[in-house]
Structure 1
Amino acid sequence: MPKAPVLPVPTDKCQVEEADRLQCGYPGITAEQCKTIDCCFAGNQCFYGKAVTVQCTRDGQFIVVVARDATVPYIDIDSVSLLESTDASCNPADITAAFAIFQFSVTACGTQVTAQEDYVVYENHVSSSYEVGMGPRGSITRDSHFELLFQCMYSSTAVEALIMEVNTVPPPLPVAALGPLRVELKLANGQCRNKGCIEEKDAYTSFYTASDYPVTKVLREPLYVEVSILERTDPNIVLLLEHCWATSTPDPDGLPQWDILVDGCPYKDDRYLTTVIPVESSHGIVLPNHHKRFSVKMFAFVDQDTFTTQNDKVFLHCATAVCHPSSTTSCDQTCHRRRRRRHVAVKVAPNQTALVSSGEVILTAKPLLS
């Protein structure tokens, strides 16, 4: 038996549905032997867990099993491949709904060979691809992407397996407001804990403070945003979000950019549309017209030339204005998908606009291995 890789074991690694379980090792393997090869044992069955498992056989074979649930969001199992090889014979030996299984010779499929003291080291990479959304000023992805370096080390007396994660995981700041109009942008962090609770409401029961930044979020995890007017008590004025967008740096004019709201409405070319959340009078909200809320599913920026993920840092920005409703001016920013939205002409004085930005938000695929 090869020695087990030294890996942190996630607490739910072995909670694999029976229908998805994939046999690990030979029939009749004991629980102790199963654990030795980094697999899970239950009900006299040895099976692969929700992780990436690497095994090195004594006859010089790599066995690499990638679980769909090894990251959050899930990996697209059909997109997993060996990074260094285009040979069709190096494709997965099998793909199930929950796992991709590779088995190949340690001398094949682009494996790199080096000598280290008393060992011969065979090294390869496995990675997943991801879907890219392309906009006029930047590109993003919301899919998990991972890349793993794995090794088999052989000597005359031992076989060892090693996994090293090479996909870097980055970590966000709070409020900036300019001009006579003071506006604040906050990120909500309330939890929906009770049965029957509504996540979009419970999220706004608490907010990140300056000391909480940078804030780390998982790809596709909703980020709940509130923009509010400060130090105004006029119940007749209405806050407008003219444009909200994201950048990879604190500079609101920096590139790449991704639109979130355009004229207060979800950017229509985003596959995961931003959700505009109505603000109602409630505890802590005396003037609902002074507040705007929305949620956006988190993403990472992608290089438009190489389609590789760039900086996992994201900063949100909103250009805001104050509207004064009258008999001829409506301050409603209504959004209709099926019909062209009638543009509302709003007269705004120069000192009634402001740009507000968030602090740094870090996106991660949240590998369960780490």
Structure 2
Amino acid sequence: MELFKCLFGVVLVFVSACDVTAQPYWTLPLQKHQPPLPSRLPQQPLKVPPPSAPSDKCQVGESEKIQCGTSDIAAEQCESINCCFDGQQCYYGKAVTVQCTRDGQFVVVVAQAATLPHISVDSVSLLETNNPSCTPVGVTSAFAIFQFPVTACGTTIKEEDGYVVYENHMSSSYEVGIGPRGSITRDSHFELLFQCRYSGATVEALVMEVNAVPPPVPVAAAGPLRAELRLGNGQCHSKGCVEEEAAYSSFYTPANYPITKMLREPVYVEVRILERSDPNIILTLEHCWATSTPNPHSLPQWDLLVDGCPYHDDRYITTVVPVDGSSGLPYPSHYKRFIIKLFTFVDQTTFTSQKDMVFIHCATAVCYPSRTNSCEQPCHRQRRAVAAVRKVSSNQRALVSSREVILIEQKTTSAPNTKSK
């Protein structure tokens, strides 16, 4: 599997704010290989109404706090510039904070926890990357800080309703896995469009967040009569509970679809034989894969299991869950279970996200054990054993698919819409 880095954005945040008269600064916690701080400290961002941010936005570890404003800034003033106050210190929260200074500077602070899954802060960059002054002025394990003049780093300038508007754009890179029949990613895609709006007498602050599109109308994939693929939704509610076991204690019903999941979130898959009570037969999974449409033969595709074993060219290897007598099932050999980490398909030419829908398919077979064929599918088996498993009549084969859509949803943390004049 080849690995590439590419740029694409699905989270759009539009921010503008300006300054007051005090002159605060920000400071980073001590880090190894920390870039030098700018020689000229930014002036105070303009006051905007305090945001009603999520309660966990300010849950930042002491070692990760970055000072926002002067050391003597008051709580009200700290919150008015979209920062957090713990009674002693004003600091940046786990979100995206954009500030505009009176002397014409952008200050943009991006938290690792701004998206789920978390982004790598060292992958965030402005679109103009050739200029050294457009790289982050500070990076920690949890935050990336950018500070640059509003006229630099590819900023566009326009006039709008009496304001002079300075607009710029940043995004994060992400890793793409290239397979023989499709490409995927499990990394968050982050894109930020931000503005500073200046006028002679008034200032306007606006924050707008655009998330994933609403779930589509459920689409059903046809399945066989004698086998079924379903997704577990059980959860642990007691101490000592094993998540992999609890997940298969209950399953999504047709009324639950489309199912919404996040990138890298585990998806618990079960395939079972229906309407059979022969304890001697064994279900085998010859091949399991994913597509972006209900059609199992459509492209792109991504392999999950090959000859019953995890696809080895995936960085997030599919986990096969053993099903034996301890499962409490009447016929454990009629079941196969595995866990995947959710992904989205990527266009192989542009490396942009192609589809937000993932359908799971498995080619199954019923195997009758004998002295020459145990029907087991150990991943280190010889070719002879593979051939023995595949010698099954067509009426003992079935193609099963996930009933409907898994819609990928990405979360981001930012302030709500605000306006101040």
Normalised by the shorter chain, which TM-score bucket?
over 0.9
Aligned to 2:257: 213
Q: Is the alpha carbon distance of 1:166 and 1:5 closer, same or farther for their aligned partners in structure 2, counting shifts above 3 Å?
A: farther
Aligned to 2:92: 48
AA matched with 2:222: A
Matched, 1:365 2:421: no
Matched, 1:24 2:57: no
AA matched with 1:29: I
1:287-326 CA distances to partner (integer Å, 9 max, x unpaired)? 1111110000111111112222221211111111111111
Secondary structure, counterpart of 1:13 in structure 2: helix
Secondary structure, counterpart of 1:131 in structure 2: strand
Matched, 1:71 2:115: yes
Task: Report the number of matched residues.
Answer: 366
Q: Is the alpha carbon distance of 1:340 and 1:130 closer, same or farther for their aligned partners in structure 2, counting shifts above 3 Å?
A: farther
Secondary structure, counterpart of 1:196 in structure 2: coil
Following TM superposition, by how much is the alpha carbon of 1:333 offset from its aligned partner in structure 2, in angstroms? 0.8
Following TM superposition, by how much is the alpha carbon of 1:77 offset from its aligned partner in structure 2, in angstroms? 0.8
| Unaligned 5+ runs, structure 2 | 1-19, 21-45, 417-421
Residue number among 81, 104, 114 corresponding to 1:37 in the alignment = 81
AA matched with 1:353: R
Report the Cα distance in structure 1 between the residues aligned to 2:397 and 2:49, rounded to whole angstroms: 57
Aligned to 2:42: none
Aligned to 2:177: 133
Following TM superposition, by how much is the alpha carbon of 1:79 offset from its aligned partner in structure 2, in angstroms? 0.4
Aligned to 1:90: 134
Report the Cα distance in structure 2 between the residues aligned to 1:52 and 1:251, rounded to whole angstroms: 39
AA matched with 2:410: A
Q: Is the 8 A contact 1:40 1:48 kept in 2?
A: yes
Question: RMSD between aligned alpha carbons?
Answer: 2.1
AA matched with 2:64: D
Aligned to 1:319: 363
Mapping of 1:1-370 within 5 angstroms?
1=20, 2-4=46-48, 9-165=53-209, 168-169=212-213, 171=215, 176-178=222-224, 182-281=226-325, 285-336=329-380, 343-344=385-386, 345-346=388-389, 347-358=391-402, 359-369=404-414
Following TM superposition, by how much is the alpha carbon of 1:327 offset from its aligned partner in structure 2, in angstroms? 1.6
Q: Is the alpha carbon distance of 1:272 and 1:105 closer, same or farther for their aligned partners in structure 2, counting shifts above 3 Å?
A: same
Following TM superposition, by how much is the alpha carbon of 1:196 offset from its aligned partner in structure 2, in angstroms? 1.4
1:210-261 CA distances to partner (integer Å, 9 max, x unpaired)? 1111111111111000111111111111111110011111111111111000
Following TM superposition, by how much is the alpha carbon of 1:104 offset from its aligned partner in structure 2, in angstroms? 1.1
Q: Is the alpha carbon distance of 1:195 and 1:169 closer, same or farther for their aligned partners in structure 2, counting shifts above 3 Å?
A: farther
Higher alpha-carbon deviation: 152-161 or 230-239: 152-161
Secondary structure, counterpart of 2:99 in structure 1: strand
Q: Is the alpha carbon distance of 1:335 and 1:137 closer, same or farther for their aligned partners in structure 2, counting shifts above 3 Å?
A: same
Higher RCO structure, 1 or 2 (CA under 8 Å, sep 6+): 2
Q: Is the alpha carbon distance of 1:169 and 1:20 closer, same or farther for their aligned partners in structure 2, counting shifts above 3 Å?
A: farther
What percentage of aligned pairs have identical amino acids? 66
Report the Cα distance in structure 2 between the residues aligned to 1:84 and 1:8, rounded to whole angstroms: 33
TM-score normalised by L of structure 1: 0.93
Report the Cα distance in structure 2 between the residues aligned to 1:278 and 1:5, rounded to whole angstroms: 55
Q: Is the alpha carbon distance of 1:362 and 1:101 closer, same or farther for their aligned partners in structure 2, counting shifts above 3 Å?
A: same
Q: Is the alpha carbon distance of 1:170 and 1:131 closer, same or farther for their aligned partners in structure 2, counting shifts above 3 Å?
A: farther
Aligned to 2:26: none
Higher alpha-carbon deviation: 237-246 or 110-119: 110-119
Q: Is the alpha carbon distance of 1:5 and 1:318 closer, same or farther for their aligned partners in structure 2, counting shifts above 3 Å?
A: farther
Secondary structure, counterpart of 2:366 in structure 1: strand
Secondary structure, counterpart of 1:193 in structure 2: coil
Q: Is the 8 A contact 2:182 2:299 kept in 1?
A: yes
Q: Is the 8 A contact 2:279 2:331 kept in 1?
A: yes
Secondary structure, counterpart of 2:147 in structure 1: strand
Secondary structure, counterpart of 2:116 in structure 1: coil
Q: Is the 8 A contact 1:85 1:110 kept in 2?
A: no
AA matched with 1:362: L
Following TM superposition, by how much is the alpha carbon of 1:365 offset from its aligned partner in structure 2, in angstroms? 2.8
Following TM superposition, by how much is the alpha carbon of 1:43 offset from its aligned partner in structure 2, in angstroms? 3.1
Report the Cα distance in structure 2 between the residues aligned to 1:109 and 1:260, rounded to whole angstroms: 43
Following TM superposition, by how much is the alpha carbon of 1:343 offset from its aligned partner in structure 2, in angstroms? 3.6
Q: Is the 8 A contact 1:183 1:354 kept in 2?
A: yes
Following TM superposition, by how much is the alpha carbon of 1:160 offset from its aligned partner in structure 2, in angstroms? 3.6
Higher alpha-carbon deviation: 283-292 or 12-21: 283-292
